[in-house]
Amino acid sequence: MKKLFLITLLLSVLGADYAYGQIAFERTRISITGHRLLTGNTILKNWDASNGFGLEISAPYVFGNFEAGYRYTRFDEFTYESSGFHSHYVFAGWNYSYIAADDLIFTAGLRLGNNFMLHNQDIIYADEYKFSREESEFSYELFTRLQLEMNKNTEFFITTSYNRTIFNIPFAAFYGTIGVTLKFQTPTWLKNFLQ
């Protein structure tokens, strides 16, 4: 019974892969996203995150999909004057899609990237120590996404993600994201570039 379950699971996964990503970089997905910070760790005591936007590009690889993207969020200060900052998250990642129904696709993946932060101003302590307004650190993200195919070339999706930037005091947050995706045959020049 256990073997049968494993074989069924394997076949279903393989089926999804071949159905969605038969040939590397055959089709390209471009998505425009809007997101909201749902909850987070201690950072929320000092800053208030605005809704943000982003851009994602992905293409099927032989197994799963490669993706790259950008996400912008503005954090306004609660406490420290002029400490607000712009967060620019640049990432690349890999995800895997499972066709749950005719027009419903479930995707899960991992993103690795850098969280670039730009504060409103530099700050100087004791007339001596200058802390730059530019700050950046490695940031990873785990996400799950539900995609609804509107037609052959368009999708609507909703994503939940857990993001962690590994500062000395780690910055962890859950985001909720919605987006619209345009799918098209990858132009030859782009396909050549990706291969």
Partner 1 sequence: MPDISTLLAILLPLFVTFDSEVSLPETDPDSVNSSFVMGIEDLIWQTGWDYASMERMSVMINTNEYGYYGPQPSFMLDGIPFEPGFFGVHYAQLFPLSLFRIENLEAFHGSGIRNGHPYQSGLMKLESEPVARGISLFGSGQLGHNSGEPGPWVFDPDKVTPNVERFGPWLDAGLSLRFGGWYAKGSLRHHDYLNFDEFIQTRIINMRGIPDENIWLRIDAVSTLGLMETGFLSDRLEIRLQGIKSDSNDFLFFQPLGREIPTGLETEQYSGFANVNIFKNVGIRMLYQQRNMSTRFRRNVFDFDIGWEKQQRIARGSLYMDWERIGLEAGIENELTDATGRQTVFKRLAIPSIFLHNRFTFHRSLTLTTDNIVRFFDDIRSLSSNTEIKITPVTGWGIQLSGVYKELLPEQSNPLENWINQGYDLFSHLDISAFIPAEIENNRLLQFSLANQIQLHQHWTLEMGLNYYRHLSLQIPFQRVLYDLPFSTQPGNFALYGGQSGERLAAVFRLHHQTTNRIRQTADLTYRTTLNGDHIYQQYWEMTPAIRFQYTALFSPYRDLELQLDVQYLSERTWPEFSRLDGQMNRSFHVQFPFKFFTYSNTLPQHLRIDVRVSKWLWQQRLRVALQLKNLLNNDYQTHPIGVREGFGYMSRLEIRF
138 contributes a contact to partner 1 by CB under 8 A: yes
- Closer Cβ to partner 1, 4 or 169, answer by number: 169
Rounded to whole angstroms, how far apart are CA atoms 137 and 112?
A: 11
117 contributes a contact to partner 1 by CB under 8 A: yes
Applying CB under 8 A, among 55, 135, 146, 162 the residue interacting with partner 1 is 135
The residue type at 180? V
1 contributes a contact to partner 1 by CB under 8 A: no
At residue 149, the 3 state secondary structure works out as: strand
5 contributes a contact to partner 1 by CB under 8 A: no
DSSP output for 43-109: GGGTEEEPPEEEEEEEEE-SSSEEEEEEEEEEEEESSSTT--EEEEEEEEEEEEEEEEETTEEEEEE
Structure tokens at 126: 């004791």
At residue 133, the 3 state secondary structure works out as: coil
- Closer Cβ to partner 1, 47 or 157, answer by number: 47
Site for partner 1 in 33-72 (CB under 8 A): 43, 46-47, 61-63, 66
151 contributes a contact to partner 1 by CB under 8 A: no
The footprint of partner 1 (CB under 8 A) covers 24, 43, 46-47, 61-63, 66, 75, 77, 79-83, 85, 92, 112, 114, 117, 119, 123, 125-126, 128-129, 131-133, 135-138, 165-169, 171, 192-195
